[in-house]
Chain A
């Protein structure tokens, strides 16, 4: 054995000597060291308060937001302590999480208001290939008492990997497989490419007979998947993953390539309403090819619940592309799935409550990881809306005039929309009407006796009168106009139609615009508002009639112009189901100030 050791040392010495003489090796080593030095300050050692248990995280902006795993923050509870490589311990608070995807966003509190944190940029994980080099950093076995991260270096062993969930949470879809050593404690830490960009969050490994330590197979959640959830995480949501509402299986063909088919579909799924049915063959999903059920699961796993993505399928010889609203994975009232179900002796493993200085940034609410941050994001959304144009002084009668191109008429027809309040006896009644050509549809939007057909007026629009009424309500009343429900809904893509008369450019994926979402409820009307992330303009909204498992009325705004110092859209495209109801070109807005103080319901 001694001979062995001596010989090995001799070998190592010669390797070092040889390497030292090679400029390529020296350069590569220097580059690697430089990258590690650069990103080291962004790696966070996450601890439960008191130091019992923890994991790793990585800072993604200078305000102190950091990504980690859900399974790291679940045991720490909503407040945690976070050590950086400079040896300083910060207080941290949970912001948002995605249980199915095993991702959580936390925020480190600066020691002084306004202090900036170092952070690492996010890369493009779609460009990562098997065989690329990667660097993992973290706190394996929680061994760094001075919070200096441990560095490991290795190969990307595979991309687009699927690792099934534990129950329904912690499902790793579209993940990056690495031979870079990760161990317990590395969870939540960053996987970097050789440019020092975050390409994934390390979270699990394949273990077998050798125990829960590195077996050469680790998995990182791809950063591109996390980017899709980033809006939700920042808004403090308990984000849910998407499902199609259909079972999809790849046929086990005896020879050749199996086809990926829908074997069952829920009738209340949007996919079914859009036309997908049993035995249809899936071809493409969200712009990617579907070649197996693992691929399919990988693609579905990229998206949050409620997102609309294009889906391509084949029935006999006909290929069709549809835009599908995705359903959720988790049930609404989800019991803690990690709690052992049949063992009453063992209380569910739950983290401690909020503690320490970060506790004031935590506000629990069902459906949210931390409602405090939803409130903050919502505030910002309304501030931007108001900055863009303030309508609060114009809560009186509105009249909008113009021409409409109705799909069914195929000709320009004049239209008028009127919304106003009338005094009837002692009470004030809100009235709204849309006149197209010679036909007028009227609606008292807040009348409790309204039936579904009333609220859907004009016929075929899916509820345009009500939509315009709620839109005016949002502009004039703001957040206080929706006392029963008004929340930030994270971010979602919308697919604005091409300008009137123009042909659509490219496929659905090219038209997608990521928007910030506000969700509101007023009486029977449930709305999702889409704000541009760039200039905060309202790009459009969807109006859904509550308790009606039906398709919404979709309104898309464009051609914003100045009207008396306020920006207003002069084109409104209205869609219902898969049909373009019509596009309204506005020529005139008349907006009166609110009359004498009235309690408008």
Chain B
């Protein structure tokens, strides 16, 4: 659900905020763009297939060349090429990753110093932005800039702060916390890892990937706030990690990546594994039922074809998954399915997800 609590801010407070930002929005943002550009880098790595770009954007977070970016495919190979704002080129390596926050930290291989950068702790200590805030998005979208050519800058407004339900193809986005949704197109190829800043150049967030909203099936434009945090398992123990913590520990070289958690649908747990979603219209046939799971208790078996959930038709796996997301743990759902030539009705009582170790 879209969180709407932020819309209930007192009108007076909003009015002040809008006044201030609207008037500053009349002035060109040239200076801010120049300053921010120096703290950003162009990244080049692996890609160029299946619509995946081989380039990206990153943010300098230390004068020695630590770079914060999105934990995406371009970082698969060890050697990543970095172009600084002044045209200098370096190789960089990934020194830490946190999949749950969808971030990675790189370090330039050479001895460098005095690089313009964001003090991440300081920036992350600022309050999170709000709806209606003016923003600038800066990235190397479409690989327009090389070497000393400046990043692209666009301006827009924070349209909403809400939780991300993104997907790429059939894969859910790794990060699912609060993000800034923007009123402009920013999530273009290569934009991920770029900077979302306010008109003064303060860092607000990390520009996100090219994703579709899994509820609406439309392209979304978002950035992950630098105050983001995620619930993770570290060596089997549940905990929370913030982006600031990740950057700090990452730079110290002591960051422990969280355990991989198998991505499960939001909503309650049922224990049904469906057949492989070979096509977008694949029907929800049961492949397996986890022994002891709610579905097992309700009597579902492999090869059952699920037809209705709470009276809603679920013709495809996709619709089934989307529908199930609406039902929280502890809710009971009516499921109608076909077994052989017969229609059957059962009630499944959903539970919380058991924390699963990843099988992949």
Contacts and interface: CB of A to CB of B under 8 A. Distances in A.
Contacts of A132: 28, 30
B141 A129 contact: no
Interface stretch (A154-162, A307-315, A440-448, A528-536): A154-162
B48 to A, nearest CB: 13
Contacts of B23: 22, 24-25
A155 B219 contact: no
A208 B142 CA distance: 9
B298 interface: no
A292 B18 contact: no
A14 B11 contact: yes
Contacts of B8: 7
B43 to A, nearest CB: 15
A3 B19 CA distance: 25
A81 interface: no
A8 interface: yes
Interface in B18-49: 18-19, 22-23, 26, 28-34, 37
Nearest to B146: A294
A250 interface: yes
A214 B185 contact: yes
A213 B204 CA distance: 28
Contacts of A7: 4, 7-8
B202 interface: no
A257 interface: yes
B122 interface: no
Nearest to A7: B7
A157 B28 contact: no
A295 B89 CA distance: 17
Given A155-B154, A155-B155, A209 B210 contact: yes
Contacts of B123: none
Given A177-B144, A206-B188, A255 B110 contact: yes
B26 A255 contact: no
Contacts of B146: 292, 294
A21 B90 CA distance: 51
B145 interface: yes
B132 interface: yes
A25 B26 contact: yes
17 contacts: A11-B7, A15-B22, A18-B14, A19-B22, A131-B31, A158-B144, A161-B149, A208-B51, A208-B188, A210-B185, A214-B185, A216-B188, A250-B147, A254-B89, A257-B89, A257-B147, A291-B87
Interface in B147-166: 147-155
Given A7-B4, A15-B132, A18-B22, A158 B150 contact: yes
A20 B19 CA distance: 9
A113 interface: no
Contacts of A33: none
B91 interface: yes
A213 B87 CA distance: 32
B155 A217 contact: no
B4 A158 contact: no
Contacts of A25: 19, 22-23, 26
Interface string A121-155: 00000000111110000000000000000000011
A14 B87 contact: no
A208 B189 CA distance: 8
A216 B149 CA distance: 19
A17 interface: yes
Nearest to A160: B149
Contact of B147 (A158, A255, A258): A258
A101 B216 CA distance: 41
A24 B26 contact: yes
Interface in A8-41: 8, 10-11, 14-15, 17-19, 21-22, 24-25, 28
Interface of B: 2, 4, 7-8, 11, 14-16, 18-19, 22-23, 26, 28-34, 37, 51, 86-91, 110, 131-132, 141-142, 144-155, 184-186, 188-189, 210, 219
Contacts of B147: 250, 257-258, 291-292, 294
A179 B51 CA distance: 23
A256 interface: yes
Interface string A254-293: 1111100000000000000000000000000000000110
Given A10-B11, A161-B145, A217-B142, 5 more contacts: A4-B7, A21-B19, A216-B154, A216-B185, A252-B89
A253 interface: yes
A567 interface: no
A158 B210 contact: no
B155 A179 contact: yes
A338 interface: no
A392 interface: no
A288 B243 CA distance: 43
A22 B110 CA distance: 51
> Closest 6 CB pairs between A and B?
A131-B30, A7-B7, A216-B185, A179-B154, A131-B33, A18-B15
Given A7-B7, A11-B131, A209-B51, A179 B184 contact: yes
A14 B14 contact: yes
A403 interface: no
Contacts of A154: 154-155
A24 B31 CA distance: 20
A8 B155 CA distance: 20
Interface string A201-222: 0000010111000111100000
B26 A216 contact: no
Q: Choose among B2, B18, B210 the residue with the greatest number of A CB atoms under 10 Å from its CB.
A: B18
A191 to B, nearest CB: 15
B7 A22 contact: no
A30 B4 CA distance: 34
B86 A257 contact: yes
Given A158-B153, A291-B148, A22 B14 contact: no
A255 B88 contact: yes
Contacts of B151: 158
B188 A292 contact: no
Contact of B7 (A8, A157, A255): A8
A178 to B, nearest CB: 9
Q: Choose among A15, A24, A158 the residue with the greatest number of B CB atoms under 10 Å from its CB.
A: A158
B115 to A, nearest CB: 13
Contacts of A8: 7
Nearest to B87: A257
Contacts of A17: 15
Contacts of B37: 130
Contacts of A253: 89
Contacts of B152: 130, 157-158, 177, 179, 217
Contacts of A15: 14, 18, 22, 132
Nearest to B184: A216
A475 to B, nearest CB: 50
